[in-house]
Structure 1
Amino acid sequence: MNNEQETSKKEKDAKQRKQKKDVQTPMNRWKIAFLILVGTIIASLAFIFVRITQVREPNYKPVPELVAKEGTPVIAIQSNKKQVNALIDFFLSDFQKDSDINYKFYLENEAMLNGTFEVLGYPIEFNLYFDPFVMNDGNVQLKAKSLSIGTLGLPIKEILKFVQRDYKLPSWVEVNPDDSTILLRLDQFRMQNGLFIRAEKINLVDDDIRMNIYLPKDTSSKED
């Protein structure tokens, strides 16, 4: 009798252990899957941060000093956002035709830079918004004010570093990540016969954009 009771108790204990194991197995699998998911997310975020902030040999060019050009305004241009956007689109399409990374820049009620960078082989799109300011020297400063990049919380400074390092930019475009600005160096923008351009007014809300084309001082003096 005792043997039968002992055998029955062992069978009961074995059954309980099996049931407990069966309950724990799915829980363990879910726990492992959750940890893998968390690890993947952390690794992806770390990769993004390293990819953007990594130090590589940048394509820095010597920044020319500001040139205080003197001349006579010969053509006053009053334009609007639609016309300027068409000009920008035409210029960038030609400028980036041999580039692996393309971006767009256009004007709405604020200036916007639209681009992408890759994370684990997948493109991540961003929109960087600027307020434009006309400088006293006729150049245009774009002050970054906000960034849209999905759910990623990356600072504007790091995106500008990425743009400065990896994007093909015109020689007269100067990116300054530390103060979150892009300077359009119109004093370095080359035109035929020495003509140069200066911004006079940019009011995107009222759709009023004005620039002047200048005849160089030495050329105008010869004609006098």
Structure 2
Amino acid sequence: MKKETEEKKEGKKISQRRKKNPEVKKTINRWKVAFIILIGVIIGSLAFVFIRVTQVREPNYQPVPELVEKDGTPVIAIQSKKKQINALIDFYLGDFQKGSDITYKFYLENEAMLNGTFEVLGHPIQFYLYFDPYVMDNGNVQLKAKSLSIGTLGLPMKEILKFVQRDYKLPNWVEVNPDERTVLLRLDQFRMQNGLFIRAEKINLVDDDIRMNIYLPKEK
């Protein structure tokens, strides 16, 4: 009787072990699948980052029809300093903004700087928006916003540029793109007397070296 009882107990233990083994195998298989999925996600993420880093990013210039013929004749080459350009800008904006309720200043230091104000709850808030200028192949100038000084307010540059685009009186040859955080100076749309126009050639604010050419329009 004792032998039979012991044999029955052993049989129960063996059957219990057999029942547990499938659960262990299922648990192991689930961990394997989860591990494989995790490895796949990591590899996919690394591949995505590598592709984005190695891509060549081109400036997002919107194609706009030019008003000036590219093959005009350069008649004057000008090499100027920031002080002279600032005096010219100040004179131009002072005349351009006559009668405007909201005024602003734009001048050159080691960066290009836009200084203006906007109101918050009836109080004027002053801001300084700093740009890096880039001369484009067509002689226009792109200003890329790089930093913003606005006291303790934490407004992003995009919102300030939206405000400038919406509320400031700007020349029709100045294009503001808040999404790209850029201001494009369309010199190919700027006219002087007798149809003369300007192309920027070089802007180096650190070394105080600014060069441009004045062109005669193409003869018809």
> Which has the higher Rg, Structure 1 or Structure 2?
2
**Any idea what SS the aligned residue of 2:188 has?**
helix
Task: Read off the aligned partner of 1:148 and give its amino acid letter.
Answer: S
Q: Match of 1:171?
A: 172
**Equivalents in 2 of 1:114, 1:192: separation in Å?**
29
1:106-185 residue pairs with structure 2 within 5 A? 106-185=107-186
- Structure 1 residues not aligned, in runs of 5+: 1-62, 220-224
Q: Residue 64 of structure 1: CA displacement?
A: 5.2
**Any idea what SS the aligned residue of 2:219 has?**
helix
- Structure 2 residues not aligned, in runs of 5+: 1-62
CA deviation profile, 1:162-184 (whole Å, cap 9, x unmatched): 00000000011000001000000
Residue 105 (1) aligns with residue 106 (2)? yes
Q: Residue 97 of structure 1: CA displacement?
A: 1.3
CA deviation profile, 1:129-186 (whole Å, cap 9, x unmatched): 0000000000000000000011111111110000000000001100000100000000
**Equivalents in 1 of 2:65, 2:162: separation in Å?**
22
Q: Match of 2:92?
A: 91
CA deviation profile, 1:39-62 (whole Å, cap 9, x unmatched): xxxxxxxxxxxxxxxxxxxxxxxx
Identity %: 83
Q: Match of 1:65?
A: 65
TM-score by length of 1: 0.68
CA deviation profile, 1:177-205 (whole Å, cap 9, x unmatched): 01000000000001122211100000000
Q: Match of 2:219?
A: 218
Task: Read off the aligned partner of 1:152 and give its amino acid letter.
Answer: L
Task: Read off the aligned partner of 1:127 and give its amino acid letter.
Answer: Y
Task: Read off the aligned partner of 1:73 and give its amino acid letter.
Answer: P
Q: Match of 1:192?
A: 193
TM-score by length of 2: 0.69
Task: Read off the aligned partner of 1:83 and give its amino acid letter.
Answer: Q
**Any idea what SS the aligned residue of 1:178 has?**
coil
RMSD between aligned alpha carbons? 1.3
**Equivalents in 1 of 2:98, 2:139: separation in Å?**
29
Moved more, 187-196 or 136-145: 187-196
Structure 1 runs of 4+ with >3 Å offset: none
**Any idea what SS the aligned residue of 1:136 has?**
coil
Matched residue pairs, number? 157
